[in-house]
């Protein structure tokens, strides 16, 4: 027997952000905490959202890889201002931080106890303040996801907090909010979306619904990412990538794989952009997994334009300006063994189609270094 559940209400398309006042009124949101980051706060996108929610209290102390301290500070801001709800605006970091702040408003245990790897999802109840999510990148899909990835102080490890109760009440996804993204952010977030769909499709487990979504999501990425490399303000391509990003987050409820276990420590230890790390690592993981899921790898290679999936990813990375080696991002060779130990502690590789040892993960780092 299998149990399936799928995400929330989504308002999608150019102009969707204009629905924010109505959604706040419909849900009785009087004083939301607007969770974002400092960089986004200096942009016209933030100004537009703030005009639509002038009653919101702004909290922008979210790091590029959100930390436990960000969550603690966000809860303090929520309580000090007498907030009754949360609007999360941004890429994966503010979206994840918003979900974690929402959790901690009503759940007093330390964040570490909610770690999905130790069954912490069983401690999460539906007693949470309302949440509206708006994405400003097309990468993590966190706006439609049921997880938050937070780096804990005690371990400096990216920790997945997972529960269907974390899903936003409504998502307003407007691709116009992504038109001004720099090329490097478009590339890194786009490859994050592609990796989510790709790894979900080959992950262990029975979930034909997620398989179908993941394969279709890879196809959207293969079609629209090259178009954005040529024309960053192509709204049709921005729309396609925002849809692919959501699809990846929906698909990976089935699971992810070794690419993500390898990428997480690179972000927490060396601040490497998560999507860029996925892009660099994915070809080596494809080669590692190929014989275990050869049929699916052939399908993915065809969708990506061949001649095989790994070559297609390397070609796409080159088109997007993503350098191919970890050394290109300042990752020292002498750190690879300790990174492999942290990657092995990460739960994502447990659903990789081919079982991974710590030595396997170290070799994958070496192959990419």
Whether residue 17 sits in one domain with residue 137:
yes
Element holding 264 (H helix, E strand): helix 258-270
SS3 content of the chain, % helix, strand, coil (to 5): 60, 10, 30
Has residue 266 been placed in a domain? yes
Q: How far is CA 237 from each of CA 34, 40, 205, 285, rounded to the nearest angstrom?
A: 28, 22, 32, 27
Has residue 341 been placed in a domain? yes
The dihedral built from the CA positions of residue 19, 25, 27 and 31, taken in this order, carries a sign that is positive
Q: What's the structural domain count of the chain?
A: 2
What is the spatial distance between Cα 132 and Cα 125, in angstroms, rounded to a whole number?
A: 18
pTM: 0.92
Whether residue 267 sits in one domain with residue 126:
no
Has residue 104 been placed in a domain? yes
- Show pLDDT as tens, one digit a residue, over the chain (369 residues): 666 667 788 999 999 999 999 999 999 999 999 999 999 999 999 999 999 999 999 999 999 889 999 999 999 999 999 999 999 999 989 999 999 999 999 999 999 999 988 999 999 999 999 999 999 999 999 999 988 999 988 888 888 899 999 999 999 999 999 999 999 999 999 999 999 999 999 999 999 999 999 999 999 999 999 999 999 999 999 999 999 999 999 999 899 999 999 999 999 899 999 999 999 999 999 999 999 999 999 999 999 998 999 999 999 999 999 999 999 999 999 999 999 999 999 999 999 999 999 999 999 999 999
The residue out of 178, 197, 218 marking a domain boundary is: 178
Has residue 4 been placed in a domain? no
CATH of the domain at 309: 1.20.1090.10
Whether residue 156 sits in one domain with residue 194:
no
The residue out of 178, 194, 228 marking a domain boundary is: 178
Domain hosting residue 263, numbered range: 183-368
**Both structure tokens of 307:** 């001649």
């Amino acid at each position: 027997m299998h149990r399936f559940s799928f995400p929330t209400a989504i308002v999608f398309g150019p102009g969707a952000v204009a629905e924010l006042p109505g959604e706040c009124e419909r849900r009785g949101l009087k004083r939301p905490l607007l969770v974002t980051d400092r960089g986004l706060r200096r942009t016209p996108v933030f100004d537009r959202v703030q005009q639509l929610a002038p009653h919101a209290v702004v909290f922008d102390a979210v790091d590029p890889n959100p930390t436990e301290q960000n969550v603690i500070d966000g809860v303090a801001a929520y309580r000090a201002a007498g907030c009754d709800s949360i609007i999360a605006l941004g890429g994966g970091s503010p979206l994840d931080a918003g979900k974690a702040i929402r959790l901690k408003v009503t759940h007093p245990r330390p964040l570490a106890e909610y770690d999905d790897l130790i069954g912490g999802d069983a401690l999460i109840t539906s007693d949470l303040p309302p949440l509206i999510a708006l994405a400003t990148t097309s990468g993590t899909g966190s706006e439609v996801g049921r997880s938050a990835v937070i780096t804990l102080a005690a371990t400096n490890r990216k920790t997945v907090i997972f529960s269907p109760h974390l899903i936003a009440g409504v998502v307003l996804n407007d691709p116009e909010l992504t038109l001004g993204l720099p090329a490097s952010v478009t590339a890194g977030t786009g490859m994050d979306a592609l990796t989510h769909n790709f790894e979900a499709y080959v992950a262990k487990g029975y979930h034909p619904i997620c398989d179908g979504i993941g394969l279709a999501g890879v196809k959207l990425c293969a079609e629209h990412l090259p178009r954005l490399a040529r024309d960053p303000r192509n709204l049709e391509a921005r729309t396609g990538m925002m849809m692919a990003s959501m699809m990846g987050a929906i698909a990976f409820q089935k699971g992810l794989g070794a690419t993500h276990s390898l990428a997480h420590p690179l972000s927490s230890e060396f601040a490497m952009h998560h999507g860029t790390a996925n892009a660099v690592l994915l070809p080596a993981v494809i080669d590692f997994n190929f014989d275990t899921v050869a049929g699916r790898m052939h399908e993915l290679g065809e969708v990506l334009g061949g001649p095989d999936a790994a070559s297609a990813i390397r070609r796409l990375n080159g088109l997007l300006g993503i350098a191919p080696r970890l050394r290109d991002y300042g990752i020292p060779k002498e750190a690879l063994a300790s990174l492999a130990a942290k990657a092995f502690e990460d739960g994502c590789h447990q659903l990789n189609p081919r079982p991974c040892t710590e030595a396997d993960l170290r070799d994958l780092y070496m192959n990419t270094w």
